[in-house]
Amino acid sequence: MTDALPLAETPLAEGTVAEGTGLARSAGALAGLKVIDLTRVLGGPYCTMILSDHGAEVIKIEPPQGDEVREWGPPFQGDAASYFIGVNRNKKAIALDLSKPAGRAVLLRLLEGADVLVENFKPGSMEKWGLGYQEVLRQQFPRLVHCRVSGFGATGPRGGLPGYDAIIQAMVGLMSINGTPETAPVRMGTPIVDLATGLYSAIGILMALQERARSGQGQYLDMTLHDCGMALLHPQAANYLLNDRRPKATGNPHPNISPYSSFRTRTCEIFVACGNDPAFRKFCAFLGLDGLPEDPRFRTNGDRVVNRDALAAILEERLSSEDGHDLSDRLLAAGLPAGPVLNVDEALAAPHTAHREMVTQLGAFRALGTPIKLSRTPGGTRAAPPSFNQHGDEVLAAHGFSEEEIAALKAEKILIEKKI
């Protein structure tokens, strides 16, 4: 890859991508970037899918037993669970036994010319295998960006310990602010820590590549679920660091803004977000509650936060006869933030979801589309998620392995053809 990230504008060759939705329409902003992906489960694979959506060549190396989320179903499509399908499109798959020296030798050959290595082994594993960044990889591949994703990092009181999304949600305080005042702490329904770690890792990798364009040197990224989960504690951490009061779960209402919550209507719940005093006055005027902003309890946002329960009772009484879907559309058209509270199936089927191509489809493959919309180099789906070791022979041949070498690797159980 060249020092500067390429902005390839050349369309994909005719016939490269079949008809579908949310498909890549260019080589991508990261065309020419080569990523070796040793990650499993979610945080790392989500990071490398982001890169692959925008043109990076991602070679996913799985262990002999495969990425365990291939089994995390139902539902399944073929032998792959939805959990795997949702975060592994556009990748080439090869399975290697890296516990054997010959497997690690193959990895080193694959790293020749690579720009990025992403792995989420337990800290110390790469070093134990003689593949530590400082001792080996930095010397052999000085331009390599090595991103390690781990639970807590290698050092500190919890250094080297395993980390999992729900455990980190509990430990960094995210569960304590989720739920209602009446419930115990509640795990967020989406694996927000894993997803955030994938996002932060992608950002960090791109930062390192940008810096490499100036220095010519790669570097090591120490990304942890702990740090990325804690980074999501806004505004609760900011509030606590200012007032020393333990944040509590508030349910749907925002801890710092009112009205900023869900309200029942005749047909559905809607969420209303009045972020400032002028918006609140406009909202009240729209609903025919012109006198409400002059009530001493509701004149400022601070007043409304203190008296949120009284305000909520008034608004729910007013909204109880409304069609929430129609009202939300009229509020949005008037410049007032509001929306119906939809179920996942309703959100995926919404017309605007289709317009934004946020459900991508290629043949039988369907998943969420990329939210990153670039004007000249749009990314998207290029290939369905790979089956186990689907590209093993192809990847090795492209890296100079002869047919005899590939056959020998299969015979020695270094290149794994079927999951163990």
C-alpha radius of gyration, the chain, whole number: 25
What is residue 96's predicted lDDT score, i.e. its pLDDT? 98
3-class DSSP state of 173 = coil
d(CA 272, CA 320): 14
What is residue 314's predicted lDDT score, i.e. its pLDDT? 97
Residues ≥6 apart with Cβ < 8 Å to 406: 392, 393, 396, 397, 415
Write out pLDDT tens, residues 330-369.
999 999 999 999 999 999 999 999 999 999 999 999 999 9
Write out pLDDT tens, residues 245-303.
999 999 999 999 999 999 999 999 999 999 999 999 999 999 999 999 999 999 999 99
Concatenating the DSSP letter of every residue in 321-371 gives TS-HHHHHHHHHHTT--EEE---HHHHHT-HHHHHTT-EEEETTEEEE--S
What is residue 18's predicted lDDT score, i.e. its pLDDT? 57
**Residues designated as active site:** 194
In contact, 235 and 305? CB cutoff 8 Å:
no
Helix (H), strand (E) at residue 160: none
d(CA 305, CA 135): 55
Q: Which residues pair with 35 in a beta bridge?
A: 58, 116
In this structure, is the dihedral angle defined by the CA atoms of residues 388, 90, 62 and 33, taken in order, positive or negative?
positive
3-class DSSP state of 210 = helix
CA distances from 201 to 44, 46, 237, 378 (A): 8, 9, 22, 21
In contact, 193 and 151? CB cutoff 8 Å:
no
For the chain, the helix, strand and coil percentages under 3-state DSSP, each to the nearest 5: 35, 15, 45
**All domains of the chain in start order, with CATH:** 20-232+356-411 (3.40.50.10540), 260-264+269-340 (3.30.1540.10)
Using 50 as the pLDDT threshold, list the residues of the chain that sit under it.
Answer: 1-15, 17
